[in-house]
Structure 1
């Protein structure tokens, strides 16, 4: 029983530590992301009252560009159907 309690305690301690063990973000990565956001319309120098909306709009633009860049080919549904 003591072994089970120790295992549960160890899991409770280790799981959060391992989940936060992602690669650290470098300064160059942060600068590159900020440049991408600025190119998409984000302006960090604007008054604070437009902060969340301005950033969210720029992130949406980047996501849309990413979706367009990763999609290829025609739509899966054709313009004509065969059968009945």
Structure 2
């Protein structure tokens, strides 16, 4: 009985990493295309500037987004929004809540 439980635990331990690994995979071509896009706006990998790494790639991604007409998150917001209902006039407010 112990060997069956042990075998099940070992099998589970081997299957879980494989399942988590297969969730998101991108191809080399996709990575190369993304690096080419970043290079087109001035970001170059391996230029020796490690002191400004996060800012440099974020700036390059922002330039790409601006060039492609995208916002930072989601799509462009061209709609309108109305929060709350219409305002109650002072006369109506007084007629409801004053004695």
**Smaller-chain TM-score bracket:** 0.5 to 0.7
Within 5 Å, which residues of 2 pair with 1:43-58? 43-44=44-45, 45=47, 47-58=49-60
Q: Cα deviation per residue 1:16-62 (whole Å; 9 max; x = unaligned)? A: 12211356533321121112323455233362322232123334x25
Per the alignment, residue 79 of structure 2 pairs with 74
TM-score scaled by length of structure 2: 0.52
Q: How far apart, in 2, do the equivalents of 1:26 and 1:56 lie? A: 22
Is the Cα contact below 8 Å between 1:40 and 1:58 reproduced in 2? Answer: yes
Determine if contact 1:43/1:54 at 8 Å carries over to the other structure.
no
Closer/same/farther in 2, CA of residues 78 and 34 from structure 1, 3 Å limit? same
Say which structure is richer in helix.
1
Distance in 2, matches of 1:79 and 1:17, equals: 47
Unaligned runs of 5+ in 1: none
**Is 1:34 matched up with 2:35?**
yes
Runs of 5+ in structure 2 lacking a partner?
Answer: 89-99
Structure-1-length-normalised TM-score: 0.58
